[in-house]
Structure 1
């Protein structure tokens, strides 16, 4: 193994875009970015993705491939001075790429210095962020970047390629010594890394350091891998873009009736200690996605949420598992809230009209003189508690917001609703 103190992950950082593993949607050989960089042209761009997806590595590989000098700063620690120095270097050489990590943290003073240089083309910017740039990066900076690319977590198969490359490389990797490790154990390291190449290489480096030496070879056995990978492979950022995607994936899996997917995302949320968000999202799901198809689920979810909040983790997982599965397997309907949304749209558009006089409040002196409450037909005085009369403002006569669905419990509500519509047509409804 090399005597350098540099971590293996740093030594194995890709030198050119041809050494990049994964991210084929961004830098694959047929992508526009690959072809641009190979020709020496680099547009200003923003790279975003979770930690460990290779944003910094990609920036360095792009610079080296294009034959450009890379000046790297971090928005959390750099100031106006560093940006001005990068601009000055660009004036002299015309060959500088400015890499800004955590670019969403640029303050106003930094932006004021940077923007004119981007506008003039003096500085070519590669910005990296763990946050969604459409939410967190200044729009003025976004508009001056030709591309915004999202990096994805690497698959275990991608990480396996990187690990084998490190094992075989005698100069930058650990190939100077003969390392014996079973492919199944190497795969376990790849899986434990959670899509992060830096973590995968760090785990391999630790395993090599802990390996038994026999006959001039280093043997990495199952016990070493188990020790090095313990408690690895899971990360949870409660405030990051990925957090909201987890909640979204959880709800969409329930909506799509996929029990196993819903349980997977529930497990990830609970493993992150995110009990409050899970409980809130379950309450949203039961009324947004189950609705009138199974109204009693609202009661069940509320009971499960109350139990979970009282129990706390880890026991809270028990009632939450029950209602999650039941929500997945329940019939679904969004007709109720969609009906209200349609009514809200009319109200916001100014489609109001006057309340019919017979519905107006008549509990005050003088109401009769105004005609308020006059002619109101009290439904309880009629058979079946119903009588034909107008309730909507006249300008909205005949409007229909609710479109019932014919499954689950809602089919019974649909039958009643359609019978009432029929009676309205048959009865003499006073305007």
Structure 2
């Protein structure tokens, strides 16, 4: 490793507290210094290239240093970078809100800075709606087992990943958990659809007992990301929509990770043909350029806050709410989707590489191979504690950035990745499996 790289590593260890990290591990596991990005690739100070197989934590859609987004941001920087959104407005936030409303069928976008912020906003909106309607007992929330919705305290209360939540249990409010429709958990011979309906039956049982005390059910549509890309049948969402209507409980769709084309449609809820009461958006919304999140909701929910009484208003706020630069980047992302027919192109890429993924899926160490839109995932047998870190290190040596979740390896690359690059990643994964990293 060059002295330049070593200097950046040392400075980072001294000054930066890295997220989702036990910092002591970096005494042995090197931090990877990145000098620049180029399309689907990250490049270090020595010129080594790594294909960004996880879209830099699932945020990058159209590649690093995307020319179109760069131009849009330069133009916006020369016009307006930010203005307080309380009592003021500006062009990018209005245009983005209009566009998101058209695409989701919901309205009045409320902005935050990240995915956890969006979850907090949605939970507070739901609770406050019922309060404004005089149903103050409806304060409870329901989420799936193995769910992940963020790490602020409200979001963590509906998250079921003990690694993140157990330490903070005394600070969290009690919420309900119901069985995940993850088809990997089905009984032998039970179809994904049948298992999804069985999971929905458990939700119905909970609603029958507690609906008068429940504000909302929050769910990641079609795929629970942090649960190891746990995919499920869309019939679950259709049944959940029916149940939420029947029992008068809000349906919150956490599309933070699965929105903006990851599952093959612009929003994952489209697979089931349903519309949630509230939708949470973030991650890919700006193409990985700037922090931004949004929550959109029904006109009925918005109307419950519209009153002369200030306390009935939704007084949540962030200093950078509706930041003009972030909204401009998000607008350009939506223009790219339309101008370049991205969803159709992605479907074509996935179809072409299907035989390559099938060969990988047939490896004797692979179980539960699955693909949804631009997400490929599989579980590895015979792994030992620390497998994810060892696989991460080995993949870097082959020029690929991967971050396994437990024994699950997944690929969620930027949409600019080429067919040849995808095929090379699958070949690399076969090599890594043959190396018997466990």
TM-score normalised per structure 2: 0.20
Which structure has the larger Rg? 1
Greater RCO, CA 8 A, separation 6+ = 2
Q: Which has the higher strand share?
A: 2
TM-score normalised per structure 1: 0.20
